[in-house]
Amino acid sequence: MTGRKKECYSLASIANAIGGTLVGDPEILISGLCSLQKASPDKLSFLSNRAYKHYLKTTSAGAVIVSNDDQLLFSGNKLISEDPYLAYALASKLFVDSPKFLSGIHSSANLHSSVSLTKDVFIGPNVVIEEDVVIGHRCQIGSGTTIGAGTVIGDECSTSANVVIDKDVTLGDRVKIHSGAVIGADGFGYAFDGEKSIKIFQLGSVRIGDDVEIGAQTTIDRGALDDTVICDGVKIDNQVQIGHNCHIGKHTIICGCVGLAGSVTLGAYCVMGGGSGAVGHITLADHVQVSAMSLVSQSILEAGRYSAGTVQMKTRDWKRATMRFKELDSLAKRLKRLERD
Amino acid sequence: MTGRKKECYSLASIANAIGGTLVGDPEILISGLCSLQKASPDKLSFLSNRAYKHYLKTTSAGAVIVSNDDQLLFSGNKLISEDPYLAYALASKLFVDSPKFLSGIHSSANLHSSVSLTKDVFIGPNVVIEEDVVIGHRCQIGSGTTIGAGTVIGDECSTSANVVIDKDVTLGDRVKIHSGAVIGADGFGYAFDGEKSIKIFQLGSVRIGDDVEIGAQTTIDRGALDDTVICDGVKIDNQVQIGHNCHIGKHTIICGCVGLAGSVTLGAYCVMGGGSGAVGHITLADHVQVSAMSLVSQSILEAGRYSAGTVQMKTRDWKRATMRFKELDSLAKRLKRLERD
Amino acid sequence: MTGRKKECYSLASIANAIGGTLVGDPEILISGLCSLQKASPDKLSFLSNRAYKHYLKTTSAGAVIVSNDDQLLFSGNKLISEDPYLAYALASKLFVDSPKFLSGIHSSANLHSSVSLTKDVFIGPNVVIEEDVVIGHRCQIGSGTTIGAGTVIGDECSTSANVVIDKDVTLGDRVKIHSGAVIGADGFGYAFDGEKSIKIFQLGSVRIGDDVEIGAQTTIDRGALDDTVICDGVKIDNQVQIGHNCHIGKHTIICGCVGLAGSVTLGAYCVMGGGSGAVGHITLADHVQVSAMSLVSQSILEAGRYSAGTVQMKTRDWKRATMRFKELDSLAKRLKRLERD
């Protein structure tokens, strides 16, 4: 909780860190990143969306990241990059105002005597770690986090505050879990005995690969028999629900508020748009993109973009359209009859 | 954690507190609020939905808040008000069974030595407050809440239990945050390097105005470069996700389970219905109302009500209709052909 | 946090515990449950979905639960059951790797002196329990849980980590609440005074029956005047939002990410599919099933299955269909005109 950095970098050292060709003054000091419109002379900006290229004429930025194609549009200090948006991402790491690396165990933390960890980890206030947990090097466990018995965490993982990782979960290296996320709660399974629901105890767990990021308040349930699996490089936004026995392929992106029922298999490099969902026991191929708030109710075997729902309308007009939707089958049949006549 | 009030008020003192014209016995003692159907003689009730006006004949309520137009329908003690629903809202404050105002810092709280606060605040058990946090007068910070470095909180704010406010967030006065909400987690941004997602560190924060209420488990992400902004008087229900760099105009209402992608601008006095959503980088004018579970996928420049989706049907009928939806473009073309013939 | 069991059972003792007719070796030791495909000789498997019956020929399972009809398909050790899926559910309880029953109050817990509990409860680290709370026999309160003043909890209830139960909530017996759930936060109610929203203080609470299970991150709001009610046997998955004054009938199933607005009444034995929702003040009969991500915007008085929305399409095709949806009323009128000609 101490020692937040606020550093400046010379343009040369930024070029060194993120790549690109520097044209202009290598000594100019940069204190942060900013949009073209709002940048001051101590800021670095970037042009990735060419709809904004007119701002190059008026920006006060001390330097701009531009593509090869756009470099002539800007006469000031610049970093020429093949992919300015990617270069901006790399530069953002330099300016993040994060705490210096911390280590030590806060006096209010409760660790079972069997916990295995090294001196270079940080365990925050009110953290609870149960028996047989293994925590890798340079992990940072935020305040109020609970880690259940038998969980194994790789190197350089972090949790923000009030995260819950239940028992027997496995995390790879460099996994980042944001505040309030719950990993490994029971999957939702019952058998009906004719009168009431009988709980199916969830005997699997959750296995998470390397370089996974998990958003605030997201829940990933433990498997019923086998494990729920999140592969390397998957990025999951806030408020996402991933049901038991889902298998999320490498580098797939899951935006906010997505809900996946049980046993959904997503391929690699998929994108589930915000608020989209999938019913249980279906499979999506690699490189499938699902639009915001679309439900996937059948497996998708071919890469591509998929959507469901209807676009917004004025409610007055929408009411008429949705009433006609109810008649749609009859309208189609009447049309066919006319065609036959 | 002590001293819960349970008070009675004379009808005269209630009239004094909430306004309205008292007709009847000013001395009658009222112990709480109740619906017309269930009220006992020590309860105050109200008629705002005129579909319930027949209950005025049978209610046992000790007194009723009625409008000018309805006053003759009830012969008992009454408070005549221009807006009975608003009068009921004002009266509800009198009867809320909340803890007496508390102050003091619980012995289990962890406060960095640089935290600035006054003697009139309450800091609950297991609260963690990091360096350079400033907390205004008469704030109540509930148990298990974590407040990150550099955050500034105005006067008379409260958090319920297990809230997380990350670093450098700004709250105005009288902001109320319910249990489990997470303010200022990272926005969801990555650049793709052709193989994997590169994190865009989120350098902005969250600025929240005065009189904002934020529901349980809601998440409001910090901005990428600039801040995410929630203006004065905004009310946000539970389980809402607000992406980075959203800007929510004054007095807008966001119902439960709404998801807003990044850089959405909502005008003032909008209503986002429960479960509705908006894709990124769009703008809604003032006074726009979006129906429950409708996706807004394009900017809305004109005030009014908007909807998407279809209404419920028996699944058997719905299956036929949704199959026809897939043929809709072809149906329309065939219709046009018939018209030409 | 100690003493996790990992036990083996003879097939005879399993038959004894879950019922069914044992055919084969009663002495074989079973260490766990597994799918037919993955089972090793120390595992018990089951066939409930007959699409998998070919696996009976190749499975290595030590024993299989089969129905009467399927028993001849498997020549190994078997338990013959009327309902193999139900038998599997019952067997799962034997193999759950849960902590042994714990009792005692962790030294870091904060309990008000007026709290009523017996010696057989377990109160975990950093738990906060406010005044006048009553906790029944053999309850297990997980780490970081906060329980508000006046709440009454029955016997054999459990909360996982970081649960919040606000004041004056009532829980029956055997209620299980998963991590991060919030019970009894304020309902979302305001009266508009022409300029701003005036809070309606929420004077009701939440009453939860026996044998209810509540998922991680789920929120159930307290009532405005009366209570929000969850009846016996209701099962609620993760990330569900239940608004103030909802009434959920017995044994109803609410899947993940469902949102119910205020004053929704669900009958008994309903199923709300994942991500579905209901607008406020409507009623669903008993035995209503709502499909995933369908909005219920009108009361449903007849048992059966209901759906809304459209099925997924390739986005290119969907764009054409959804544009035609906007013309649907006009298409229908044009069709009618043609029919008249």
- For B62-109, the pLDDT digits (tens) are 999 999 999 999 999 999 999 999 999 999 999 987 666 788 999 999
User: Are A275 and B295 in contact (CB < 8 Å)?
Assistant: yes
Query: What average pLDDT does this structure show over A235-258?
Result: 98
pLDDT of residue C96: 87
Whether residue A197 and residue C251 make contact (CB cut-off 8 A), yes or no, is: yes
In this complex, the residue of B188, B203, B335 whose CB is nearest that of residue A335 is: B335
What's the CA gap between A172 and A213, in Å, rounded? Answer: 11
- According to the model, what pLDDT value does residue A99 have? 61
Which of C98, C315, C335 should we substitute to test contact with A (largest number of A Cβ atoms within 10 Å)? C315
pLDDT of residue C102: 82
Q: Which pair of structure tokens corresponds to residue C283? A: 């009623």
C228: nearest Cα among C187, C258, C179, C180: C187
CA C300 to chain centre: 22
- Minimal C-alpha gap between B133 and chain C (Å): 23
Cα distances from B195 to residues A215, A233, A252, A269, B199, in angstroms, run: 21, 10, 11, 9, 13
Q: Are C24 and C63 in contact (CB under 8 A)?
A: yes
Given a contact cutoff of 8 angstroms between Cβ atoms, the answer to whether A89 and A41 are in contact is no
**In the prediction, which pLDDT does C99 show?**
61
Report the distance separating Cα B299 and Cα A319, nearest Å. 20
Contact map slice: A 78-137 vs B, CB within 8 A: 83, 85-86, 88-90, 92-93, 95-97, 99, 106, 108, 124-126
- Mark yes or no for CB contact A295/C313 under 8 Å: no
C residues 27-66 closer than 8 Å to B (CB): none
Q: Could you give the CA distance from residue A240 to residue A256 in angstroms, rounded to a whole number?
A: 6
The CA distance from A321 to A54, in Å, is: 42
With a CB cutoff of 8 Å and minimum separation 6, the contacts of B186 are A178, A215, B201, B202, B221, B222, B244
What percentage of chain A exceeds 90 in pLDDT?
Answer: 93
DSSP B143: T
Residues B164 and A160: their CA atoms lie apart, in Å, by 9
Closest CA to A163 of A236, A113, A241, A215: A215
In chain C, the percentage of residues whose pLDDT exceeds 70 is 97
Q: Does the pLDDT at position A102 exceed 90?
A: no
- Distance (Å) from the C-alpha of residue C162 to the closest C-alpha of chain B? 7
At C3 the pLDDT is 44
Query: How far off is chain B from A195, nearest CA to CA, in Å?
Result: 25
Integer Cα distance of C272 and C266 in angstroms: 9
pLDDT over 90, % of chain C: 93
State both tokens at A40. Answer: 């001051």
**10 Å Cβ neighbour count for A238?**
31
Tell me the pLDDT tens digit for each residue of C140-184.
999 999 999 999 999 999 999 999 999 999 999 999 999 999 999
Residues of A in contact with C275 (CB under 8 A): 259, 277, 295
Q: Do B35 and C226 touch (CB under 8 A)?
A: yes
Asked if A83's CB is within 8 angstroms of B225's CB, the reply is: no
Does any CB of chain C come closer than 8 Å to the CB of residue A161? no
| Tokens 């329990």, residue located | C129
Out of A96, A99, A143, whose CB is closest to B146? A143
Nearest by CB to B110, which of A97, A125, A178? A125
Count helices and strands in chain B by DSSP H and E runs = 4, 38
- Concerning whether C54 is annotated as a catalytic residue, the answer is no
Q: If pLDDT is split at 50, 70 and 90, which confidence band does A340 have?
A: confident
Q: In the structure, what pLDDT confidence band is assigned to residue C1 with cuts at 50, 70 and 90?
A: very low
- Cα B212 to Cα B145, B172, B266: the distances in Å are 18, 8, 15
pLDDT of residue B2: 39
Could A88 and B200 be called an inter-chain contact, meaning their C-beta atoms sit closer than 8 Å?
Answer: yes
Q: What is the pLDDT of residue C6?
A: 66
pLDDT of residue B96: 87
Q: Which residues of A touch B131 (CB under 8 A)?
A: 1-2, 4
CB contacts, 8 Å: A298 with chain B: none
Kindly identify which residue of chain A lies nearest to residue B239, measuring between CA atoms: A239
Given a contact cutoff of 8 angstroms between Cβ atoms, the answer to whether C253 and A192 are in contact is no
Q: What is residue A151's three-state secondary structure?
A: coil
CB within 8 Å of chain B, chain C residues 196-225: 196-203, 217, 219, 221, 224-225
The CATH code that applies to domain C9-95 is 3.40.1390.10
Chain A CA closest to residue B112: A1
B3 pLDDT tier (thresholds 50, 70, 90): very low
Select from C38, C311, C339 the Cβ nearest to the Cβ of A297.
Answer: C311
The vertex-A226 CA angle with A222 and A230, nearest 5°, equals 60
The three-state secondary structure class of A184 is strand
What is the residue-averaged pLDDT of chain B? 95
- Do C298 and B311 lie within an 8 Å CB cutoff? yes
At C48, is the secondary structure helix, strand, or coil?
Answer: coil
Place of tokens 């165990």: A105
Residue B173 · residue B139 · CB < 8 Å? no
Residue A206 to residue A220: CA distance in whole angstroms: 8
- Distance, in Å, from the CA atom of B214 to the CA atom of B252, rounded to the nearest integer, reads 12
Give the three-state DSSP class for A11. Answer: helix
Q: How many CB pairs under 8 A join A and C?
A: 239
Task: Say how far apart CA C1 and CA A131 lie, in whole Å.
Answer: 6
pLDDT of residue C2: 38
Q: Three-state SS for A284?
A: strand
pTM above 0.80, yes or no: yes
> What SS3 class is residue B331?
helix
Structure-token pair, residue C25: 């070796």
* Strands (DSSP E) found in A163-263: 164-165, 170-171, 176-177, 182-185, 190-192, 197-199, 206-208, 213-214, 219-221, 228-230, 235-236, 241-242, 247-248, 253-254, 259-260
Q: Are residues B183 and B159 in contact, defined by beta-carbon separation less than 8 angstroms?
A: no
Average pLDDT over residues C316-327: 94
Q: Tell if the CB–CB gap between A321 and C328 is shorter than 8 Å.
A: yes
CB B61 within 8 A of CB B36: yes
Provide the pLDDT confidence category of residue B130 given band limits of 50, 70 and 90. very high
Residue B308 has pLDDT above 60, yes or no: yes
Alpha carbon distance A59, C154 (integer Å): 65
Nearest CA in chain B to A341: B338
> What are the start-end ranges of the E strands in B4-57?
9-10, 21-23, 29-30, 32-33, 43-46
ipTM of the complex: 0.95
Lowest-confidence region among B90-99, B269-278, C250-259, C264-273: B90-99
Are B190 and A95 within 8 A, CB to CB?
no
Q: 3-class SS at A254?
A: strand
- Shortest Cα–Cα distance, C83 to chain B (Å): 27
**C274: pLDDT strictly greater than 80:** yes
Quick one: which of B100, B94, B102, B56 has its CA closest to B78? Answer: B56
- Give residues 234 to 293 of C whose Cβ lies within 8 Å of B: 239, 241, 243, 257, 259, 261, 277, 279, 290-291, 293
Asked whether residue A78 carries a pLDDT value surpassing 70, the answer given is yes
pLDDT of residue C98: 64
pLDDT at A158 over 90: yes
Question: Tell me, what DSSP letter sits at residue B54?
Answer: G
Report the C-alpha gap between A196 and A200 in whole angstroms. Answer: 13
Instruction: Say what the pLDDT of residue C63 is.
Output: 97
- Beta pairing partners, A260: A242, A278
Looking at the complex, report in whole angstroms how far the Cα of residue B221 sits from the nearest Cα belonging to chain A.
9
Question: How far, CA to CA in Å, does B336 sit from each of B121, B319, C161, C330, C340?
Answer: 71, 25, 62, 12, 16
Provide the CB-side half-sphere exposure for B140 (13 A, CA). Answer: 18
One of C112, C244, C247, C251 is an active-site residue; which one? C244
Average pLDDT across chain A, whole number: 95
Q: Which amino acid is residue C54, in one-letter code?
A: H
**Residues 6 or more apart in contact with residue C212 via CB below 8 angstroms:** C171, C172, C175, C176, C230, C232, C233, C234, C235, C236
Contact B295 A314 (CB under 8 A): no
Task: State the pLDDT confidence band at A98, using cuts at 50, 70 and 90.
Answer: low
Catalytic residue, candidates B244, B251, B281, B287: B244
Compute the distance between CA of residue C332 and CA of residue C341 in angstroms, rounded to an integer.
15
Residues 6+ away with beta carbon under 8 Å from A341 = none
Other CB atoms closer than 10 Å to residue C155's CB: what's the count?
A: 18
The predicted structure's pLDDT at residue B100: 64
pLDDT of residue A6: 66
Report CA-CA distances (Å) from B99 to B96, C130, C133.
Answer: 9, 11, 14
Tokens 């605040």 found at: B121
The closest of A303, A216, A271, A287 to B240, measured between CA atoms, is A216
The mean per-residue pLDDT over the stretch A90-117 comes to 90
Q: d(Cα B186, Cα B205) in Å, to the nearest integer?
A: 9
Tokens 């609970």 sit on residue: A146
Nearest Cα of chain B lies from the Cα of C256 at a distance, in angstroms, of 12
Q: Does residue B1 register a pLDDT over 50?
A: no
Predicted confidence (pLDDT) per residue in A162-177, tens digit: 999 999 999 999 999 9
What chains are in contact with B, requiring at least 3 Cβ pairs below 8 Å? A, C
Domain chopping of chain A, boundaries: 9-95, 315-341
Q: Which chain C residues are Cβ-neighbours of B233 within 8 angstroms?
A: 196-197
Q: What is the dihedral of CA B214, B215, B219, B224, to 10 degrees?
A: -20
Element at C254 (helix H, strand E): strand C253-254
Give the pLDDT mean for B215-229: 97
Q: Is the pLDDT of residue A311 over 60?
A: yes
Residue count of chain A, please give it: 341
**Cβ-Cβ contacts under 8 Å for B317 (sequence gap 6 or more):** A326, A329
The angle that helices A328-340 and B315-326 make with each other, rounded to 10 degrees, is 50
What distance in Å separates the CA atoms of residue B285 and residue B268, rounded to the nearest whole number? 8
